[in-house]
Amino acid sequence: MMDDFFIRALIAGTGVALVAGPLGCYVVWRRLAYFGDTLSCAALLGVALALLFEINTTLAVFSVSVFISMALLLLQSRVNLSADALLGLLAHSALAVGMVALSFMTWVRVDLMGFLFGDILAVTPFDIAIIWGGGAFVLIVLVISWHSLFAATVNVEIAQAEGMKPDQANIVLMLLMAVVIAISMKIVGVLLITSMLIFPAAIARRFATGPEHMALLAAIIGILVVFGGMFGSLHWDTPSGPSIVVAASVFFIITAIPATSFQMIKNASIEKRDTKQK
């Protein structure tokens, strides 16, 4: 018989995987990986603020993520810097401010490791409610705005000309990412949040025949990865958050092995490097 906390962890992980997969497809298609990293750095500032004002961590992380997203939109229209430079500025400002704020709060003892790598075994029923509530919200919004989001992803100008309101879609996507980051922080931790978004989508890409198919596959693969990582961590007594990401890596490597896909991996790493450099 499995322990209660383990079952809670699986339920929470499944909830995150269900939304992170489909949303992760957009992260991959739109090359937003670095944006995800920026939001996760900002998540630490959210944690600091939550401790300082004694408010809910998830809410604080969400608010800071939204703030950072909007700051990015504003800076992009005002400052003559490329998006990746702006993201770097924002990410490290948020991280540094978060660290400084934490150091001031001598009265709180913070389990920094828990925030960095997640604490999935400590999820409470309340956390599960937040994850599934937030996740359901994200999925509903994603389904409703799927068409305009997708059109804007393929080509902004066509979307704009043909009345799909791409600007609105961009803001929706940023908000959804903020929600997903806030709810998945507890599962894999600040450092590994982006992996929940990217890995399932990247693995699904191998087998997908269409965009919607890829989103569905990514959700399923995300769940498999969470289960794989959780049972692995139980078996080998390893930290759960990193174990989930290790499971994802293994899954990715296995699915990428067939000879015909060799070229694709090469392309993928080039693309990834290019995105980082951008």
Q: Name the site residues for another protein (rule: CB under 8 A).
A: 28-31, 147, 150-151, 153-155, 157-164, 205, 208-211, 213-214, 267, 271
Give the nearest distance from C-beta 29 to another protein in angstroms: 5
Closest CB to another protein among 148 and 240?
148
Give the nearest distance from C-beta 259 to another protein in angstroms: 19
Give the nearest distance from C-beta 161 to another protein in angstroms: 4
Closest CB to another protein among 93 and 160?
160
Q: What are the CA-CA distances from residue 115 to residues 29, 96, 241, 255 (Å)?
A: 28, 15, 10, 30
Closest CB to another protein among 121 and 156?
156
Give the nearest distance from C-beta 74 to another protein in angstroms: 18
Closest CB to another protein among 91 and 151?
151
Closest CB to another protein among 210 and 236?
210
Spatial distance between the Cα atoms of 139 and 101, rounded to a whole number of angstroms: 34
Closest CB to another protein among 32 and 95?
32
Give the nearest distance from C-beta 155 to another protein in angstroms: 5
Closest CB to another protein among 53 and 163?
163
Give the nearest distance from C-beta 93 to another protein in angstroms: 28
Give the nearest distance from C-beta 151 to another protein in angstroms: 5
